[in-house]
Structure 1
Amino acid sequence: MRSFRRKVRQLTSELFDLPQDVALNVPRMTLVGSVQLYVENHRGVSHFSDRALHVKINNGELRILGEQLKIRAIYPEEVLIEGRITSLSFKETGQGM
């Protein structure tokens, strides 16, 4: 069933010329060098330290590793992270879409 919903969302995205991050409800990330990361469509922060940040996303978790990490701004669906970013990874939960 999840696969069917995803295909419908993709077709809708293509038909109405919508960005896929909007239609599929997935995060959009903008990385500026290795010093700033902007994440849209997040679901909250589950862990934060100056070396690791875990951001909940629709189908799992985004893990950011680095040094001197700071949350510069956080809004209901947007978060801005600064510091020396050394690694980004995804951990899927199998839920969501």
Structure 2
Amino acid sequence: MIKIKNTRNKIEKLLEIPVEVTTNIPKITLIGFNQLMIENYTGVIEYEEHLVKINSSIGIIIIEGNKMNLNQINENDVLISGVLSKIYLESTEEE
């Protein structure tokens, strides 16, 4: 198993493939204070005007703000807009 993982890592580096493309790790892009794009999410847990919780492979992504909307949502990514004030990750892994 380790040999396969090492080979995959070498191929990724050689081809310069971003890690989020070959794994299920979410990519979070913040655009100013008004937009947030999350790629590789697994679901929307909660959506309110002041709070959005997004499930991912590494934990729950929590976004707080005002007048928030889910502008774009599909199986791969979600675009959140509004006045964003806090973004944090709640890990689901045991420490």
| TM-score (normalised: structure 1) | 0.82
Aligned residues: 92
Which residue does 2:48 correspond to in 1? 49
Which residue does 2:27 correspond to in 1? 28
* 1:59 corresponds to 2:58: yes
Residue 80 of structure 1 aligns with an amino acid whose one-letter code is L
- Larger Cα-atom Rg: 2
Q: CA deviation at 1:11?
A: 4.0
Over aligned residues, Cα RMSD in angstroms?
Answer: 2.2
| Shift >6 Å, 4+ stretches | none
Q: CA deviation at 1:12?
A: 4.1
Cα displacement string for residues 34-66 of structure 1 (whole angstroms, at most 9, x for unaligned residues) = 001111111010011111100011121100000
Can you give the 5+ residue segments of structure 2 that lack an aligned partner in the other structure?
A: none
